[in-house]
Amino acid sequence: MWLEGVRRSFPGEVVALEGVNLEVAAGEFVAILGPSGCGKSTLLRLVAGLDPPQGGTVRVEGVDGRVAYVFQDAHLLPWRTVLANVELPLQLKGVPRAARRQAAEAALAQVGLGDALDRFPAQLSGGMRMRASLARALVTEPRLLLLDEPFAALDELTRSRLDEELFDLWRRRRMTVLFVTHSLGEAAFLAQRVVVLSPRPARVVGEVEVALPEARDATLRTTAPFNEVVRQLQGVVQQWGKL
């Protein structure tokens, strides 16, 4: 199972992506780092099949349609409870009630929302809503998880916590993850490999292998190797100006 996005451009009124080459192996955690509005989201939407490429090819193989997408904001259905929201993807795929309920409860327990099943999104904090959104993505047991600046709207503390939990999830499940962010620290903390994009039209301008230990927790952020990765990323980014 692997994903290969060979070369694609996406010209609308503005060219968002120009000749982007990217190859991602199965089970890899890749962060895509780039300035705001550089076409990172466009890239994810192409990979998800939500938009067609207007040049080049996008090939996603071996995921069997099991692709999940997490947006910048939670985007839950406000009229459904947390549990019913997480059941939604399975419901749309026609999974029987009992089975989807069980899967949803498990996914919610995984993101630490096991005791908020019957609350409505309006009754949750921003962080909890994002957890529910993450659970909704996980419930389908995706082979490919696409995250579009998922924690960007949260406060620093909540964001770090969720980064740690996401990393744990990935380490246990080993799905392929594409994580779009504009935070150097977040990219360094989570990914095995960071792909840096240029400002619009986006091109891949650099790649940094993150050689950090397999087990990562909050303490990693203060270690020398971590700072070295961030510094390296800073170098690539500075070459291309504005972030």
Partner 1 sequence: MRQLLRNAFPPLVAFLAGNALWEALAHLLEVPLYLLPPPSRIAGALLTHAGPLGRGVLLTGQAALAGFALAATVGVAAGVLIASARWVQRAVYPFTVLLQTVPLVAIAPLLVVWFGYGVRPVAVAAFIVSVFPVIVNTVAGLRSVDPPLEDLFRLYGASRWARLFKLRLPWALPSIFAGLKVASGLAVIGAVVGEFVASYAGEDAGLGMLALTFARESHTDRLFAAVGLASLLGLALFAGVGAAARLTLRHWHASEQEER
179 beta partners: 31, 147
- Residue 14 near partner 1 by CB under 8 A: no
- Residue 151 near partner 1 by CB under 8 A: no
Q: How far is the CB of 92 from partner 1 (least distance, A)?
A: 4
Give whichever of 98 and 122 is closer to partner 1, judged by the CB atom: 122
Give whichever of 7 and 66 is closer to partner 1, judged by the CB atom: 66
- Beta strands 56-61 and 2-8 are antiparallel
Give whichever of 71 and 240 is closer to partner 1, judged by the CB atom: 71
- Residue 65 near partner 1 by CB under 8 A: yes
Amino acid at 197: L
Provide CB contacts within 8 A for 83, sequence distance 6+: 101, 104, 105, 108, 117, 118
Q: How far is the CB of 26 from partner 1 (least distance, A)?
A: 20
Give whichever of 108 and 210 is closer to partner 1, judged by the CB atom: 108
**132 with 71: CB under 8 angstroms?**
no
Q: Which one among 67, 113, 130, 184 touches partner 1, defined by CB under 8 A? A: 67
Stretch that binds partner 1, among 12-20, 117-125, 215-223, 232-240 (CB under 8 A): 117-125
- Residue 240 near partner 1 by CB under 8 A: no
Closest CA to 71 of 30, 13, 132, 124: 132
Compute the C-alpha angle 117/133/103, nearest 5°.
55
Q: Which one among 11, 14, 55, 92 touches partner 1, defined by CB under 8 A? A: 92
Secondary structure class of 33 (helix, strand, coil): strand
